[in-house]
């Protein structure tokens, strides 16, 4: 059976106009778009296509918008592709941070409309967490071993009283912590760094005050047996049960994204690699593992 990889983007990937082409060209995507808008009591077309970059940036607006756009491109692809007339491929899905939610829906564990609702609630919770944190991307020397890269990130985090937010690849890790600690780390770390444009320190202790409520929301959401293979963004391992998928999504709020491990699981042996939603950053992080492959980007199209 043909193995295809589906990757879904994390926060910060949003662009004005995302999913406009998918919703225009696919009746199935348009129906999903309308149902999701009604479920979260938000006009997704206005939010995703008519907002400014600044209006789309807040966590509570960005997360449902990004999940809806990602799933609209996924749904449109399946309606408009030739898969129905050929052998059905085996899809292996994964998403970076908030992208785990559309990945779970694409793998059949979540209804897509429920996924947008869950993302909307996640965004509200994260926006309500105590302020005072931020995040720092650090460029490292190339390290092909993910465990070693994670240890390096943990050493940097411990040295500056921060947390590891993500291990994105062989040359990038992300720290999260108090604004002052991140500022000090930016000065003291002898490597290229960049503070991220975020409202708080995600995937860190700053999310602990809302973690219990998040776990309860995920527990109250209907999950079902999956039809595809879901790789957890927390563990980088295949999740084979509804309980394992739930746990991955719950833990992803406070714990680091092991994206480098995800990619080493996802891409080897794949016949095709796809990025759904606004996928430029997703495709860029996948490059070290692609070999002669390329990423098929199902990107948004529409005027800013």
Indicate the fold that domain 3-129+206-298 takes in CATH. Malonyl-Coenzyme A Acyl Carrier Protein; domain 2 (3.40.366)
Q: For residue range 142-195, what is the model confidence (pLDDT) as tens digits?
A: 999 999 999 999 999 999 999 999 999 999 999 999 999 999 999 999 999 999
Q: So where are the chain's domains?
A: 3-129+206-298, 133-198
- Write down the mean pLDDT value for the chain: 94
CATH topology of domain 133-198: Alpha-Beta Plaits (3.30.70)
Query: Per residue in 190-237, pLDDT tens?
Result: 999 999 989 999 999 999 999 999 999 999 999 999 999 999 999 999
Q: How would residue 304 be classed by pLDDT, with cut points 50, 70 and 90?
A: very low
Is the pLDDT confidence value at 52 over 80?
Answer: yes
pLDDT in tens, 62-110: 999 999 999 999 999 999 876 644 567 889 999 999 999 999 999 999 9
d(CA 29, CA 205): 37
Residues 272 and 291: beta-carbon distance below 8 Å: no
Q: Could you tell me if 140 and 191 are in contact, meaning their C-beta atoms sit under 8 angstroms apart? A: yes
């Amino acid at each position: 059976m043909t193995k295809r990889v589906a990757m879904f983007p994390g926060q910060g990937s949003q662009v004005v106009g995302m999913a406009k082409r998918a919703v225009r060209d696919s009746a199935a995507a348009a129906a999903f778009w309308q149902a999701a808008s009604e479920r979260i009591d938000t006009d997704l077309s206005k939010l995703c296509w008519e907002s400014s970059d600044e209006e789309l940036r807040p966590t509570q607006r960005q997360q449902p918008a990004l999940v809806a756009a990602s799933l609209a491109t996924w749904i449109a692809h399946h309606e408009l592709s030739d898969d129905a007339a050929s052998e059905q491929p085996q899809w292996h899905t994964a998403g970076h941070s908030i992208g785990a939610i559309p990945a779970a829906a694409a793998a059949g564990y979540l209804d897509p409309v429920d996924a947008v609702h869950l993302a909307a609630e996640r965004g509200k919770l994260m926006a309500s967490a105590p302020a005072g944190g931020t995040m720092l991307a650090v460029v490292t020397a190339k390290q092909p071993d993910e465990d070693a890269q994670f240890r390096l990130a943990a050493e940097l985090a411990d040295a500056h009283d921060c947390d590891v937010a993500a291990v994105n690849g062989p040359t990038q890790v992300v720290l999260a912590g108090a604004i002052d600690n991140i500022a000090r780390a930016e000065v003291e770390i002898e490597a290229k760094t960049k503070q991220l444009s975020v409202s708080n320190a995600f995937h860190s202790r700053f999310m602990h005050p809302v973690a219990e409520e998040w776990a309860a929301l995920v527990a109250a959401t209907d999950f079902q047996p999956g039809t595809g293979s879901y790789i957890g963004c927390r563990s980088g391992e295949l999740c084979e049960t509804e309980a394992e998928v739930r746990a991955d999504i719950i833990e992803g709020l406070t714990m680091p994204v092991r994206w480098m491990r995800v990619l080493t699981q996802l891409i080897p042996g794949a016949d095709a690699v796809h990025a759904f939603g606004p996928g430029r950053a997703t495709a860029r992080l996948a490059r070290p593992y692609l070999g002669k492959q390329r990423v098929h980007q199902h990107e948004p199209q529409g005027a800013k």
